[in-house]
Amino acid sequence: MSSATRTFTAFLDGPDTPDISNPIHSTEVARDYGFERALVGGVSVYGWCARSIVESLGDDWLDFGWAEINFRRPVYPGDEVTVSVVAGGAAPASLSLANGDGDVCVRGTVGLGEAPFLPGMRLPSRVEPVQPAEPHTPLTPETAPVGQDLPPMLLRYDEETARQYLDEKQRDDGPPWAGPGARIHPGWLAARMTPLLHHTYVYGPAIHARSEIQHLAPAYVGQDVVITGHFVETYERKGHQYGIVDGLILGEDGTHLARIRHTTIFQVARRD
């Protein structure tokens, strides 16, 4: 285990328009909610950290490693950001992403083996994928399926999907997520909880607040994956409505590839 640092310019993937799937990533809507500019997606920011995590912990982290990530401040397109993974010896490594003003936007911990949070996560029992709901149900505190499994979905992560994701979301097409024996990018895995919710529900501007991620087995490019999850709870804090989903990603042979606890603000309070 060694420390690793990387500095680069944050960017926003996709069009900066209010009709994108999550309009908090558009300048107009983000400003309506009190932010300076469009917010970069939390899972994209986490994905930018993956290169430094692997440099510090090695490819073993992709096979059986974990990350606990808290999104503390917005990351805006054009920000100069620095990712730092500081080795902890026998202890887990610390992870941070700071902007050019020195504000820590992301803080977390990463490690090898089984995460301390894994035993507390709910394992969904529904694994057979179904078609998207028609029509979708508005997600509110009243309709949130607390204590229930979410309808699973099937996705394909082939070479074209990998190329598009790496080009648009990461701008990083080197090994181990490209080339022979390419791995599914950990940022893509972490980002599957939002599409899982949108498989059944519809909701407006949302903000990613926290992720706890456990890699369980090597996840290779070129396979179908099943995304499923269990809606743990919903709660209100400072006017925001939060939801927590415990997710499971399975490979096409049924192997458990990753488990993810995803905390999102699905109703964002407006600020003056």
**Domains of the chain, residue spans:** 4-114+128-267
Predicted local distance difference test score (pLDDT) of residue 14: 79
Q: What whole-number distance in Å separates Cα of residue 34 and Cα of residue 63?
A: 40
Predicted local distance difference test score (pLDDT) of residue 106: 98
Angstrom CA distances, 141 to 114, 211, 231, 266, stand at: 32, 21, 12, 9
Beta strand 80-88 with 104-112 is: unpaired
Angstrom CA distances, 117 to 54, 110, 199, stand at: 21, 12, 26
Q: Which of 66, 48, 55, 56 is nearest to 105 (CA)?
A: 48
Query: Which are the contacts of 84, defined by CB distance < 8 A and separation ≥ 6?
Result: 3, 4, 5, 52, 94, 95, 96, 97, 98
pLDDT above 90: residue 15? no
Predicted local distance difference test score (pLDDT) of residue 81: 98
Lowest-confidence region among 81-90, 116-125, 220-229: 81-90
Confidence of residue 213 (pLDDT cuts 50, 70, 90): very high
Q: Tens of pLDDT along 23-41?
A: 999 999 999 999 999 999 9
Query: Which are the contacts of 50, defined by CB distance < 8 A and separation ≥ 6?
Result: 185, 186, 187
Q: Tens of pLDDT along 113-122?
A: 999 999 999 9
Average pLDDT over residues 67-96: 94
Beta strand 148-157 with 91-98 is: unpaired
Predicted local distance difference test score (pLDDT) of residue 259: 98
Residue 199 main-chain phi, psi, to 5 deg: -65, -25
Q: Tens of pLDDT along 150-197?
A: 999 999 999 999 999 999 999 999 999 999 999 999 999 999 999 999
Q: What whole-number distance in Å separates Cα of residue 168 and Cα of residue 183?
A: 17
- 91 or 44, which is more confident: 44
Confidence of residue 90 (pLDDT cuts 50, 70, 90): confident
Question: Residue 237: beta bridge partners?
Answer: 240
Strands laid side by side in the 207-215 sheet = 4-9, 80-88, 91-98, 104-112, 65-71, 207-215, 256-267, 240-250, 223-237, 148-157
Q: What is the mean pLDDT of the chain?
A: 96
Residue 211 main-chain phi, psi, to 5 deg: -140, 140
Average pLDDT over residues 122-135: 97
Its CATH class, for the domain covering 4-114+128-267, is: alpha beta
Q: What whole-number distance in Å separates Cα of residue 134 and Cα of residue 201?
A: 10
Average pLDDT over residues 116-139: 97
Indicate left, alpha or beta for 164 from its phi (over 0: left) and psi (-120 to 50: alpha). Answer: alpha
Which run of H or of E encompasses 42? helix 42-57
Coil, helix or strand at residue 197:
helix
Question: Residue 227: beta bridge partners?
Answer: 153, 249
Predicted local distance difference test score (pLDDT) of residue 272: 65
Predicted local distance difference test score (pLDDT) of residue 3: 92
